[in-house]
């Protein structure tokens, strides 16, 4: 990318940079970006910083328009963007602040297996997972649902899967929102979205989605690891997927409606991709009701995939998933808008918090954190690329005070998919991963090349910044053993 951002960027400390609201007439708040000098070099070569400034124009925005260290250019909002709008003060909801893949998110499953138990059967395990969990664009699953059942899924979320025997109540307790957002309205979802979602329950999808078998290779916080039931060498499974074609269509449908709202509600934004409507308007309410339904679809989808994963482990290791200790650690969304209460200037306010490519990171004692994690804070799952590492962190009080309980969501792209395809050679990449002992299976070569480690920022740097800034605290690091790509 030849573009280099040359707007004002004031250093606040080693982890924080300010785009002052004086940068552009119309900015209501400053932009604040979390990064160190090294990450900033790459961030400047992208339009994401301009997008941070643009988001600051939105009605009702409070405190700042935030950019996380994994920030990169997205639709309207940057990916890695956080913004909260005060509903009583005309705060808006913007589909661009959630993204096309509504409730794209990550779930992490622990096991009692160690790397030495899994290594001899790794190829067999990855093959089994690849065959059991459909992946790729338009992939369809064995978990087929009727039109009536699909409506139920949109209303009930992951509880639908549990009701079918695809998991237990404990899984719901370890899922953000218990796997179901209330006030979802399946009737606000278009027929076209339904048609796209009907055959995709329990499917991985394409792009950066994956199912990964990992081993914990470093512990940072013994106390939190004990609460989470984790130790070094332990095998984990990470599932990264979203709302598939259904969520994409919900976003697409709403953007058309929202564009008309800019004139209707006299909203001025520097980019039409920031189309939005007041949360309290009929358009705002309709979007949120449909978005919640799509979010519920995604939680159900990840629950179904975890069920299929447990079945594969049972078959290969000849024991029930319960005996293998395959317990869900947590499932967290990173593309979503939520109505939450936060303190702003010492006062409790009801806000619409947009997290796009950003993870909720509620601190210890927060009512939204599962009882068993109250002492340590909400688990935060940060996937890296398939050649490096992923992390488990916990939320902090500092995140509550500073970023509406939000932190980064991954490594963040460095190269576009097109660039990666042009620069990376498939066989060389597979050899490089094999040399690291990583087994990869994918539905197409293109996906593997697009997701090459070199296409991403180094997740170790990204996590280092949020840990140092205090908006999430490292618990452990995981290294990939086997990867199933969409």
- Alpha-helical (H) ranges within 318-396 are none
The closest alpha carbon to 379, from 229, 184, 480, belongs to 229
The closest alpha carbon to 411, from 453, 467, 471, 474, belongs to 453
**C-alpha span between 353 and 340 (Å, rounded):** 7
276 and 356 in contact (C-beta within 8 Å)?
A: no
Which one is catalytic: 240, 409, 418, 427? 409
Active site residue 427: no
Task: Work out the end-to-end distance of the chain between its first and last CA atoms, rounded to an integer number of angstroms.
Answer: 26
The closest alpha carbon to 404, from 359, 446, 448, 465, belongs to 359
Q: Which is it for strands 234-241 and 277-278: parallel, antiparallel or unpaired?
A: unpaired
Q: At a CB cut-off of 8 Å and minimum separation 6, what does 456 contact?
A: 384, 385, 388, 410, 411, 412, 413, 414
**C-alpha span between 196 and 244 (Å, rounded):** 8
**C-alpha span between 453 and 458 (Å, rounded):** 8
Tokens of 468: 């140092």
**C-alpha span between 268 and 54 (Å, rounded):** 11
**Which residues are marked as active site?**
409
């Amino acid at each position: 990318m030849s573009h280099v951002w040359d707007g004002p960027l004031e250093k606040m400390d080693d982890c924080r940079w300010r785009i002052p609201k004086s940068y552009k007439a119309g900015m209501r708040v400053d932009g604040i970006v979390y990064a160190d000098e090294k990450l900033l070099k790459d961030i400047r070569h992208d339009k994401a910083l301009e997008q941070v400034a643009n988001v600051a124009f939105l009605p009702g925005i409070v405190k700042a328009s935030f950019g996380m260290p994994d920030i990169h250019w997205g639709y309207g909002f940057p990916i890695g963007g956080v913004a909260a709008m005060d509903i009583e003060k005309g705060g808006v909801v913007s589909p661009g602040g959630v993204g096309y893949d509504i409730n794209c998110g990550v779930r992490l499953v622990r096991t009692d297996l160690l790397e030495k138990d899994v290594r001899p059967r790794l190829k067999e395990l990855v093959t089994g997972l690849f065959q059991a969990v459909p992946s790729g664009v338009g992939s369809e699953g064995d978990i087929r649902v009727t039109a009536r059942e699909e409506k139920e899924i949109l209303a009930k979320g992951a509880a639908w899967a549990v009701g079918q025997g695809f998991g237990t109540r404990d899984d719901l307790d370890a899922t953000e929102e218990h796997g179901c957002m209330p006030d979802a309205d399946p009737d606000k979802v278009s027929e076209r979205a339904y048609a796209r979602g009907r055959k995709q329950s329990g499917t991985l999808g394409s792009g950066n989605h994956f199912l990964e078998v990992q081993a914990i290779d470093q512990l940072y916080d013994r106390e939190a690891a004990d609460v989470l039931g984790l130790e070094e060498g332990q095998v984990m499974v990470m599932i990264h997927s979203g709302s598939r074609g259904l969520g994409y269509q919900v976003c697409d449908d709403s953007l058309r409606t929202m564009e008309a709202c800019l004139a209707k509600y006299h909203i001025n934004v520097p980019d039409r991709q920031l189309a939005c409507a007041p949360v309290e308007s009929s358009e705002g309410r309709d979007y949120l009701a449909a978005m919640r339904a799509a979010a519920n679809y995604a939680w159900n989808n990840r629950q179904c995939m975890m069920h299929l994963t447990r079945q594969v482990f049972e078959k290969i290791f000849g024991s029930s998933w319960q005996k293998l200790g395959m317990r869900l650690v947590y499932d967290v969304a990173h593309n979503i808008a939520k109505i939450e209460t936060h303190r702003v200037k010492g006062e409790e306010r009801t806000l619409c918090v947009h997290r796009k490519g950003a993870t909720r990171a509620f601190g210890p004692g927060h009512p939204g954190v599962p009882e068993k994690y109250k002492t340590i804070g909400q688990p935060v799952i940060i996937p890296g690329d398939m050649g490096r590492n992923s992390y488990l962190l916990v939320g902090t009080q500092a995140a509550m005070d500073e970023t509406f309980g939000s932190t980064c969501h991954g490594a963040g792209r460095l190269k576009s998919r097109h660039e990666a395809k042009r620069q990376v050679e498939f066989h060389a990449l597979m050899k490089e991963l094999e040399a690291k002992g990583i087994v990869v299976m994918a539905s197409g070569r293109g996906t593997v090349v697009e997701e090459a480690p070199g296409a991403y920022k180094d997740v170790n740097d990204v996590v280092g910044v949020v840990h140092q800034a205090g908006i999430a605290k490292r618990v452990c690091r995981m290294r990939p053993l086997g990867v199933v790509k969409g």
